Amino acid sequence: MEGVVAMSKRHIGILAVLLLGAILAVCSGGLMAADQPAPQIAVYFSPHGGCTDAIVRELDASKESVLVQAYSFMSAPIAKGI
């Protein structure tokens, strides 16, 4: 019986993660104006993969505000961009 209970808890956890992802997808789509293009996603690797340059570019392109949550970071270009 323990195996059945453990299996069902695992399935409940997986379903909860999938449901949360679906809710976030619906909510984020609902917050976008109809005339806005879909957000672009890019992948960078570090070091020497362009991460810092991409972050600084986005900071420079910000128009209103930038929210940052960080314990610490050591990048002078990013600190200057913020």
Residues 25 and 60 in one domain: no
Residues 29 and 62 in one domain: no
What is the count of structural domains for the chain?
Answer: 2
Residues 21 and 57 in one domain: no
Residues 55 and 74 in one domain: yes
The pLDDT score that the predictor gives to residue 26 is: 59
pLDDT digits (tens, 9 = 90+) for 8-62: 666 666 666 666 666 666 555 555 566 777 777 888 887 788 888 888 888 898 8
The pLDDT score that the predictor gives to residue 30 is: 55
- Domain span at residue 66 reads 42-82
The pLDDT score that the predictor gives to residue 13 is: 64
Residues 32 and 53 in one domain: no
Q: What is the identity of the amino acid at 34?
A: A
Residues 25 and 7 in one domain: yes
Q: Quick check: 2 pLDDT over 60?
A: no
